[in-house]
Amino acid sequence: MRPMRVMLQPVGESDWQLLAKLAIRLPQNLPFVECQVSPKAVSLPTSAITPRRQWLANVLLAHLVIPQGFDRIVGVTNVDLVVPPFNFVFGIAEFEGKRAVISTARLIDHNAELTELRALKEVLHELGHTLGLPHCPDPTCVAAFSNTLADTDRKGPKFCLKCYQRLLISWQQQCSEAQQKD
């Protein structure tokens, strides 16, 4: 099984130091992943801003282009995201797709390590969705739904055994299908 290549794509103004740390920590929590940070940020699409000064997450998601040689792209932005009718979202992903986006706007803490951990959890969570993983009922699994920051803080940066096995199987199947096409 080959590694899943993930590009972290800064969207708008970005914390480059945070992105670099996420690129290191992501493979530590998903060993079949290789991660890089795009050297260039993409701009925020002006069509995505709402009257409440939030950004439509689906528009940002559609704005992301998967670079050649990569399997997934995860946009990372510092603007507040929304998917109506929700008040906000920490992130969204194409279920069984290749694109995801997360926002650090509501994850920021005066403790930089906590901010980093929260962002890592959101990236892992959304990558799980791209591999077809639904929300997990185990509140400590990173695949659990987060409705509040307390939910995000309660869960760890790891998938429970059942979810991790599902992720591995999904990625193995995608690798096998790609090999059969070649």
DSSP E strand stretches across 44-98: 55-56, 72-77, 81-82, 91-93
Query: E strand or H helix at 9, and its extent?
Result: strand 4-11
> CATH no. for residue 146?
3.40.390.10
Residues annotated catalytic, as ranges: 126
Helix (H, G, I), strand (E, B) or coil at 57: helix
Question: What range defines the domain where residue 101 resides?
Answer: 4-181
The total number of structural domains in the chain stands at: 1
Closest to 131 (Cα-Cα) out of 118, 147, 142, 117: 142
DSSP structure class, residue 43: P
pLDDT by residue, tens only, the chain of 182 residues: 899 999 999 999 989 999 999 999 999 999 999 999 999 999 999 999 899 899 999 999 999 999 999 999 999 999 999 998 889 999 999 999 999 999 999 999 999 999 999 999 999 999 999 999 999 999 999 999 999 999 999 999 999 999 999 999 999 999 998 888 76
